[in-house]
């Protein structure tokens, strides 16, 4: 909401509006204000319509001749009280975040022309004072560059007729039948009816074409991810400043999400993991319900989502601001594995080779720390993989393989000692460049000295807003 104060000579009498309009300085202010209001209510596109179009063209080229691809967003009712963040393949190819929307790509048969059609909900003028209007047909054309845009209530008839034309393959993800015998999903019932009418097609998942494309990011995607990473790094810094014994894990989470929001991150890449004490050894501890005690180690694994792209940074710090000797010993081991792994990142390197080197470092370190007798036993205290791709929300990427420029991945070794209630994980987001790597998450401190120094600074004090009965 934008608040403004009218000039004094406009108040009191409606006729003074003419006086305002006749003053050039006020006209300029008025134009700027209207432009600003229009800007903040307009859809934001971090990537160009042309880039989305190029992706659709690349997908169409990989489709079988005469095939059909259908991508859609979730179906929601009008007036819903939530702000869904769909992402996924649909967003990757369109940039649109509207519910009840369908993208159809029809690959021409034997070289005949292909076509793409977008089915979207028209702007409902009767609801403009109730709900956000959405993109609408005009917005899909003018902002996102689609040429053939139709109302979304025309999709089902179009789809049925398209299947009766017997496409060579149907690229579409649809819900499969649940375990109850005899129950078919909507689309399975539709396919059954159409097959009885002579429809014939081979089902396939869009993933086989789109998932491999997600691994290498464009320049615009990298900049969006960089923004998400920087926001998450700032949240890590504030969590370090603000953490103190007596806070609950969920209170630290609240401070983190506050930093996300004020910096424009509209969502979470995944639920925050705040694991203190015994919870530090649980990889996906998301309940965040424990009170943090003096002497606890705290694993903070968080990621903001910015313009549908996620980040993922983990830091581990002491609740009271100072590592114990044992905590520091294990922390330095994990940090060594993290840094040595990052140094190996470069085009042409097999990720499995980096992972093997980390296994060796952790195994040797665990022997020295008295945890195991032979380094081959390292999996007892390190029971997950080294990393994964990061990028667009709600997409299924491929497994890490030979590295290429433009890939963005995590490096996240860890050691988890349940009997000592001591878990340490250090995770960075790393971009593969033409000549090596760039640590995108470098703004999040990770050495013992850096963390302890930052934790000595004053952070956010929640006592002002904390109810006295807490």
Residue 3 lies in a domain: no
Asked if residues 52 and 116 have their Cβ atoms less than 8 Å apart, the reply is: no
443 - beta bridge partners?
none
Q: Are residues 88 and 26 in the same domain?
A: no
Q: Are residues 16 and 114 in the same domain?
A: no
In 69-167, which ranges are continuous DSSP H helix?
88-94, 136-142, 155-164
39 - beta bridge partners?
none
| pLDDT tens-place values along the chain, 470 residues long | 323 333 333 333 333 333 333 344 443 433 333 333 333 333 445 799 999 999 999 999 999 999 999 999 987 765 555 667 888 999 999 999 999 999 999 999 988 899 999 999 999 898 888 888 899 999 999 999 999 999 999 999 999 999 999 999 999 987 654 444 556 678 888 888 898 898 888 999 999 999 999 999 999 999 999 999 999 999 999 999 999 999 999 999 999 999 999 999 999 999 999 999 999 999 999 999 999 999 999 999 999 999 999 999 999 999 999 999 999 999 999 999 999 999 999 999 999 999 999 999 999 999 999 999 999 999 999 999 999 999 998 887 778 899 999 999 999 999 999 999 999 999 999 999 999 999 999 999 999 999 999 999 999 999 999 998 76
Residue 469 lies in a domain: no
Q: Are residues 203 and 269 in the same domain?
A: no
Give the pLDDT confidence score for residue 261 in this predicted structure.
97
Q: Are residues 207 and 223 in the same domain?
A: no
**pTM summary value:** 0.87
Structure tokens at 139: 């917005």
Residue 53 lies in a domain: yes
Q: Are residues 247 and 131 in the same domain?
A: no
| DSSP-assigned letter for residue 423 | E
Q: Are residues 53 and 32 in the same domain?
A: no
Residue 192 lies in a domain: yes
Indicate the residue among 160, 193, 212 that finishes a domain.
212
Indicate the residue among 178, 196, 212 that finishes a domain.
212
Q: Are residues 198 and 291 in the same domain?
A: no
Residue 271 lies in a domain: yes
Give the pLDDT confidence score for residue 3 in this predicted structure.
31
Distance between CA atoms of residues 465 and 448, nearest Å: 32
Structure tokens at 371: 């945890």
Residue 470 lies in a domain: no
- Count the domains in the chain: 3
Q: Are residues 190 and 281 in the same domain?
A: no
Strands 149-151 and 437-439: unpaired
Asked if residues 52 and 144 have their Cβ atoms less than 8 Å apart, the reply is: yes
Distance between CA atoms of residues 264 and 243, nearest Å: 23
Residue 1 lies in a domain: no
Domain span at residue 255? 216-464
Indicate the residue among 212, 227, 250 that finishes a domain.
212
Distance set, CA 367 to CA 61, 234, 344, 426 (Å): 53, 35, 24, 20
Q: Are residues 255 and 208 in the same domain?
A: no
Give the pLDDT confidence score for residue 174 in this predicted structure.
75
Q: Are residues 180 and 245 in the same domain?
A: no
189 C-beta neighbours (distance < 10 Å), count:
11
Give the pLDDT confidence score for residue 74 in this predicted structure.
83
Asked if residues 422 and 331 have their Cβ atoms less than 8 Å apart, the reply is: no
| DSSP-assigned letter for residue 120 | E
Give the pLDDT confidence score for residue 469 in this predicted structure.
73
Q: Are residues 203 and 264 in the same domain?
A: no
Any idea which residue has 């940074």 for tokens? 313
> Would you give the end-to-end CA distance of the chain in angstroms?
32
Instruction: State the CATH number of the domain containing residue 91.
Output: 3.40.350.10
Instruction: State the CATH number of the domain containing residue 283.
Output: 3.90.230.10
Give DSSP secondary structure letters for 72-93.
Answer: EPPP--TT-SS-----HHHHHH
Give the pLDDT confidence score for residue 7 in this predicted structure.
35
Q: Which residues of 281-291 are buried (b: 16+ CB within 10 A; e: fewer)?
A: beeebbebebe
Q: Are residues 290 and 431 in the same domain?
A: yes
Three-state DSSP class for residue 411: strand
């Amino acid at each position: 909401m934008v608040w403004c104060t009218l000039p004094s000579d406009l108040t009191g009498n409606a006729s003074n509006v003419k006086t305002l309009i006749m003053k050039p300085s006020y006209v300029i202010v008025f134009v700027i204000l209207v432009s600003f209001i229009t800007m903040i209510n307009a859809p934001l596109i971090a990537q160009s319509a042309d880039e989305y179009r190029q992706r659709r063209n690349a997908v169409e080229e990989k489709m079988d001749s005469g095939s059909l691809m259908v991508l859609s967003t979730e179906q929601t009712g009008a007036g819903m009280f939530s702000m869904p963040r769909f992402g996924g393949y649909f967003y990757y190819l369109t940039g649109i975040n509207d519910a009840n929307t369908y993208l159809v790509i029809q690959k021409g048969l034997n070289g005949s022309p292909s076509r793409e059609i977008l089915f979207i909900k028209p702007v409902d003028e009767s609801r403009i004072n109730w709900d956000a209007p959405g993109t609408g047909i005009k917005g899909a054309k003018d902002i996102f560059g689609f040429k053939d845009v139709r109302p979304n209530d025309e999709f089902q008839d179009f789809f049925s007729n398209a299947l009766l034309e017997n496409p060579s393959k149907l690229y579409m993800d649809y819900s499969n039948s649940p375990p109850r015998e005899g129950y078919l999903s909507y689309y399975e019932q539709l396919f059954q009816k159409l097959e009885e009418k002579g429809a014939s097609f081979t089902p396939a998942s869009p993933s086989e074409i789109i998932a491999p494309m997600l691994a290498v990011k464009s320049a615009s995607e990298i900049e969006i991810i960089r923004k998400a990473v920087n926001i998450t790094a700032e949240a890590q810094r504030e969590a370090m400043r603000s953490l103190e014994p007596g806070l609950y894990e969920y209170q630290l989470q609240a401070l983190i999400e506050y930093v996300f929001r004020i910096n424009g991150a509209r969502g979470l890449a995944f639920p925050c993991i705040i694991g203190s004490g015994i919870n530090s050894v649980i990889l996906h501890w998301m309940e965040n319900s424990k009170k943090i005690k003096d002497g606890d180690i705290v694993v903070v694994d968080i990621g903001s989502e910015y313009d549908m792209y996620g980040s993922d940074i983990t830091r581990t710090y002491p609740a009271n601001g100072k590592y114990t000797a044992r905590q520091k010993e294990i922390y330095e081991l994990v940090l060594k594995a993290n840094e040595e792994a990052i140094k190996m990142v470069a085009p042409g390197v097999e990720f499995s080779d980096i992972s093997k080197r980390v296994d060796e470092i952790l195994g040797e370190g665990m022997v020295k720390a008295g945890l195991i007798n032979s380094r081959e036993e390292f999996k007892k205290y390190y029971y997950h993989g080294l990393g994964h791709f990061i990028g667009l929300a709600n997409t299924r990427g491929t497994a890490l393989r030979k590295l290429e420029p433009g890939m963005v991945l995590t490096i996240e070794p860890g050691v988890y000692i349940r009997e000592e209630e001591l878990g340490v994980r250090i995770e960075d987001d790393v971009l593969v460049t033409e000549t090596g790597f760039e640590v995108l998450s470098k703004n999040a401190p990770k050495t013992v000295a850096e963390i302890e120094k930052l934790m000595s600074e004053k952070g956010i004090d929640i006592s002002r807003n904390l109810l006295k009965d807490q």
